[in-house]
Amino acid sequence: MSSFLESRELREKYKEVREYVKIGSIFLTRYEKARITGARALQLSYGAPILIEKPRDMIDPIKIALLELRAGILPLTIRREFPSGEFQDIPISKLILKKD
C-alpha cells in the first residue's frame, strides 16, 4: 500500500514540475549535473563556504559538490534555450534529480 502512495506523490510532483518547466525535460540532465558539479567544486576549491554538514573525513570538492546538489540547497539557475532564442531560467531546486 505504501508503494501506491509513494507513486501517487511522485506523479503529483512530476505534474507540478511539468507545469513550471516549459523547455526541456523535468529532470536535471547529466550534462547540467556535470556542469553544476564542476562549477561548485571549483568554488569550493577556491575557499567558498560549504553549505551542508559534510562527513569529517571528506575533502574532495567534487564529492562535496555532489552532496550539496543532492541536498537541493544550491542557489543556482539553469538557462534552457530554443534555437529560436526563446529561453527559460529554471532554479535547480525545481528540477528532479534522478537517482544514480
pLDDT band at 1 (very low <50, low <70, confident <90, very high): very low
* CATH domain 2-91 topology: Eukaryotic RPB6 RNA polymerase subunit (3.90.940)
pLDDT tens per residue, range 74-93:
999 999 999 999 999 999 98
CA distances from 73 to 17, 51, 83 (A): 17, 7, 30
Asked whether the predicted pLDDT for residue 6 surpasses 80, the reply is no
Q: What is the pTM of this model?
A: 0.83
Asked whether the predicted pLDDT for residue 36 surpasses 90, the reply is yes
- CA-nearest of 76, 100, 84, 88 to 26 is 88
Asked whether the predicted pLDDT for residue 51 surpasses 90, the reply is yes
- Could you state, in order of their start, the residue ranges of all structural domains in the chain? 2-91
Return the DSSP state at 12: H
